[in-house]
Structure 1
Amino acid sequence: MSCLCMHLDSIKAQTIACGTKQSENTTKTVHLPEKARKSKVLILEGTGRVGGSTALALAKLCPDFRIVVGGRNRDKGAAMVATLGENSEFAEVNIDDMNSLETALNDVDLVVHAAGRFQQADKCTVLEASIHTKTAYVDVCDDTSYVWRAKSFMEKALAANIPAITTGGIYPGVSNVMAAELVRAARTESKVEPERLRIKLKPYSGMLNVDFGKGIRKKDVFLLNFPDVRSAHEILGVPTVSARFGTAPFFWNWGMLAMTNLLPSEFLRDRSKVQQLVQLFDPVVRAVDGIAGERVSMRVDLESSDGRTTVGIFTHKQLSISVGIATAAFALAILEGSTQPGVWFPEEPEGIAIEAREVLLERAAQGTSNFVMNKYTAML
């Protein structure tokens, strides 16, 4: 089980009225304009955990989509295509090869880049290829360095008239939009801009016990340097932003703490070595998930000048399903025209238009066991 907590400490923003949204029990088909409904979507690493989940979610949300499963393993690709049905196909793609990418992107309306790891990647090859081929783009990146490198392609994306979103997953992603909505709602009650302050703290430190509401309750979470910490501070203008992450059972947190304190930073920056660790522990993680479950919960707090706090909570029983629905919600928003040309974070109004945020959150929250926005802590 994974838990994420983001704190937005706003000195001058005021609190807002609370509201509750009802969760959906199943993934419902969405109604799109005909042009968007007939879109062709390439999902890179479409046989993996995130990409495969996204492909399944898109197929359920809009059965008319033509889905291309991109990857290197034809057997896995064939299995995914068989699951998705006749509106899907497999394309062999090497994301490190520009020619391979541009060939796969030919005649595609949107590419979903789910082929991590993004950490320590020194190029944004997929984004570059999408700009060259004039293909809309969204990724599920969770690495701070990578997302700001992606933002450096702003002028090229604008020149190509291509909309692109980086960090368009669940966290970061949906968490960004939740934060943006809390801040926007607070500012409609106050015309004063909050003061700006930015802090840095050691990753996986500063333990805090946080109540994630029904189904999860109190869990220990730790500070991490997620991309949305910097982007929320700079874009939303909130003076103090922190993000915390934790896992359950508790011993996973011990393992994370041990790795950050015992392993040299050079080791953690070596993608091949980290990948070996992932492969080593993956069977254990899957086995424990089978027993303990794979619930995911996010909590976003906005603290205001009157001492009160408004909160958003998002809880789903299965991370493997929820991450795909969340990513699919961003894909739908782009195809509907809610994203302007350029490279954007989800919380930027050019990334997800303010008037489109509520729809995105409703779609992303399908299947959640608990989803609330703009509630005071006393009401949780």
Structure 2
Amino acid sequence: MTNRVLILGGRGRIGSSVAQDLATHTQAEITITGRYPVAEGNEDAKWLSSKNNWTLGTGVQFLVLDLVEVDKLRQAIANSDLVIHCAGPFHYRDTQVLEICIELGVNYLDVSDHRSYTSKALSYNEQAAAANVTAIINTGIFPGISNSMVRQCVEQFDQAEKIHLSYLVSGSGGAGVTVMRTTFLGLQYPFEAWIDGNWQLVKPYSEREDISFASPYGNTGVYWFDMPETFTMPHSFPSVKTVITKFGSVPDFYNHLTWIAAHIFPKWLMQRRSMIEFLSYVSHFMTDVTNAYTGIGVAVRAEVTGQKDGKTAVYCANLVYENTALASGCGTGSIAQLLLEGKLKKPGVYPVEEALPTDLFVETMNSRGIKINSNWVKS
């Protein structure tokens, strides 16, 4: 029988990238959704039909669906073998779709990159396990592929002690306005980070640190940014006492503009939706200009420090990919492929690093031409 996959928010940059990955690597029947029909000439239509993107093909159907239409949503989920939630922004996301999937016994993936949704989703672990539903969250590039890179590093040690994750995106990363919103929403409040075995408040976009990324990026600045990994990895890897997640942009002047938004703009102004919308659209317009010079790639560097053979050692994994949005599609699509093929089954709700074994991660990345270079830095 043909597997049926429902991609909520599948018309957006990330969702359509997930659909493309599935269309390339599986025989699944794919349905992508959006709140409105794709009108000729609008941004989504241009993205979906762009000559710079792969063709989704006739195996992909489009369904007009607003998530507030619960009966229509329930019917669409009931007709699916797997639901992939790509609709954002994730700061305001509830667990309605996950709850329906658990109720109907349908497996679930989610690209959300926000701690609040991660926390809410994980609270349904027991219900999902009882329903024999595998639900995996944070499945894109970061979080997602980055989580599995950390797991691969942690497995090299007798005891891992510190995780340092650094992310770098060129221009828009090939993503849309929703991702811009996510960035600015992440600047609104301090967040808790796991440092030296304690939860400590950290200011967003603070403590710039120059990180040596793989070619062609080299030495580039990154800043503290609230990511679900900060929240999930202390649980996934109990011996770890520090988890650092830092993010930066190329060109570097975007970092300085973002720092100003985080530290100079009045907090009351940054907490207004109208301001977030203004900054998101202005930023998206600016990156449309600079993308031609910087590209839209992504770099991830995972560095783990721990004990190996009685000595302190450091192990690093590096990834570079030319299109951030497509990398996110590969991260989610690869896990979807494993679920559809029956190679991955873990009833409950889990972040990627707990659900995906390293051997399967390496296998799916290799099949997509994503090369992860790893090595001991010192011992």
What TM-score comes out, normalization by structure 2 length?
Answer: 0.80
SS of 1:377's partner is strand
Deviations 1:80-138 (A, max 9, x none): 599422212111111233223212212111111111100133x2222122223322111
**Residue 60 of structure 1 pairs with residue 61 of structure 2:** no
Aligned counterparts of 1:66 and 1:235: Cα–Cα separation in 2: 34
- Match of residue 72 from structure 1: 35
Structure 1 match to 2:180: none
Counterpart of 1:24 in structure 2 is none
> Aligned pair in 2 of structure 1 residues 263, 230: CA closer, same or farther (>3 Å)?
same
**Which of 295, 308, 314 in structure 2 is aligned with 1:309?**
314
Q: CA RMSD in A?
A: 2.5
For 1:94, which of 66, 78, 82 is the aligned residue? 66
Whether contact under 8 Å (2:230, 2:243) holds in the other structure is yes
Aligned counterparts of 2:363 and 2:233: Cα–Cα separation in 1 = 21
Q: 1:263 to 1:193 in 2, by over 3 A?
A: closer
Q: 1:213 to 1:138 in 2, by over 3 A?
A: same
- Per the alignment, residue 4 of structure 1 pairs with none
Q: Structure 1, residues 28-86: CA drift from partner, whole Å, max 9, x if none?
A: xxxxxxx6xx3111111111110011111211112x21110111222258885994222
1:172 aligns to what?
143
1:328-359 alpha-carbon deviations (Å, 9 max, x no partner): 112112223313111101111xx224543332
* Residues in 2 aligned to 1:275 and 1:160: alpha-carbon distance in whole angstroms: 39
Quick one: structure 1 residues 130 and 269, their matched pair in 2 at CA, closer, same or farther if it must change by over 3 Å? farther
1:336 to 338, 341, 366: 341
Instruction: Output aligned runs, 1:237-248, within 5 Å.
Output: 237=238, 238-248=240-250
In structure 2, what is the Cα distance between the partners aligned to 1:251 and 1:108?
45
Q: Pick closer, same or farther for the CA change 1:209–1:78 going to 2, 3 Å.
A: closer
- Greater fraction of residues in strand: 2
* Superposed CA offset, 1:168-189 (max 9, x none): 1110011111111111221xxx
Percentage identity across paired residues of the two chains: 27
Find the partner of 1:113 among 61, 85, 100: 85
Query: Residues 50, 85 of structure 1: CA spacing in aligned structure 2 closer, same or farther, 3 A cutoff?
Result: same
After superposition, the Cα gap between the structure-2 partners of 1:65 and 1:141, relative to the gap in structure 1 and judged at 3 Å, is: same
1:358 partnered with 2:362? yes
Q: Distance in 2 between matches of 1:313 and 1:169?
A: 16
Q: State how many pairs are aligned.
A: 331
Aligned pair 1:284/2:290, yes or no? no
CA contact (8 A) 1:158 1:341 kept: yes
Tell me the amino acid that sits aligned with residue 330 of structure 2. I
TM-score (norm 1): 0.80
**Counterpart of 1:197?**
197
Q: After superposition, what is the alpha-carbon deviation per residue over 1:207-237, rounded to whole angstroms, capped at 9, x for unaligned?
A: 1111112221111111112110121122112
Distance 1:267 1:111 in 2: 37
Show structure 1 runs of 5+ residues with no match: 1-34
1:180 and 1:294, CA in 2 relative to 1: closer, same or farther beyond 3 A? same
1:155 aligns to what SS in structure 2? helix
One-letter amino acid of the counterpart of residue 233, structure 2:
A
Residue 259 of structure 2 corresponds to 257
Distance change >3 Å, CA 265–CA 335, structure 1 → 2: farther
**CA positional deviation for 1:260:** 1.1
Classify the secondary structure of the residue corresponding to 1:220.
strand
